[in-house]
Amino acid sequence: MMLHIPQVLNPEQLAECRRIIDAGDWSDGNATSGFQAAMAKNNLQLPHASEASRAAGHIIRRALDASLLFTSAALPRTVLPPLFNRYGVGQTFGGHIDNSIRANPEGGVLRADLSATLFLSEPGDYDGGELMVEDTYGAHSVKLSAGDLILYPASSLHQVTPITRGERVAAFFWIQSYVRGVEQRALLFDMDLAIQRLAQAAGQSDPSIISLTGAYHNLLRMWAEV
């Protein structure tokens, strides 16, 4: 499942993120890649230990906490601190698959269930730079408004196509979900959305809504790894 979540960052949060990271100390992006990915990667990245990365990441994680759509779709157990990359003209990240197990700089390790890219440049500011993601339904080209997020399975083959004009800045990060299975997670998401729509029409205290909510939580209880 690929999910576009619009306006995770509002204009003020977006401007603040850009102000912080644009003043940061960017370095070669290969510091976080596995060996195979490093061969395809050509971009700049903010070191995750940097103050700029930490401060902008904090804004993003607070925004994610406030996003009902993100929470419902990802059922996040752990969200890794966001990383930031920057692609100029001629830069690219060829087709690759991300590492499945990642060290958490805040301690421990994480199983990457979901990958997220949060766009921090407007699509009109650059040409090329599409995120291409291949899933079981084929290849999808993604280029979103600044502040919008795309969520996709971390097992997907993906790439960032070469930039031919301007500059593309984005945040990216991985999520371990309480629910490991893609199909179970998608079913819970559909169910949650349907319950929310029904609750708006019939009211939270409608007996059918209460019963469906109970069923949702029983499924989550059965599938959640805590």
Closest approach of Ni ion to the CB of residue 42, in Å: 13
Distance from C-alpha of 53 to C-alpha of 30, rounded to nearest angstrom: 16
x/- track of binding to Ni ion for residues 54-93 (CB under 5 A)? ----------------------------------------
Binding segment for Ni ion (CB under 5 A), chosen from 12-20, 47-55, 97-105, 196-204, is 97-105
- For the CB of residue 63, give the shortest distance to Ni ion in the complex, in Å: 22
- Residue 130 within binding range of Ni ion, rule CB under 5 A: no
Least spacing, CB of residue 198 vs Ni ion, in Å? 37
Beta partners for residue 111, in sequence order: 101
> Which residue is associated with the tokens 């421990």?
108
> Hunting for tokens 């995120």 — which residue is that?
131
Q: Are 167 and 121 in contact (CB under 8 A)?
A: yes
Distance CA 145, CA 122 (A): 5
Sign of the Cα pseudo-torsion (215, 224, 33, 98, in order): negative
Comparing every residue's Cβ against Ni ion, the nearest one is 98
Asked if 98 is part of the footprint of Ni ion (rule: CB under 5 A), the reply reads yes
CB of 100 to Ni ion, least distance (A): 12
Q: By the criterion CB under 5 A, which residues form the site for Ni ion?
A: 98
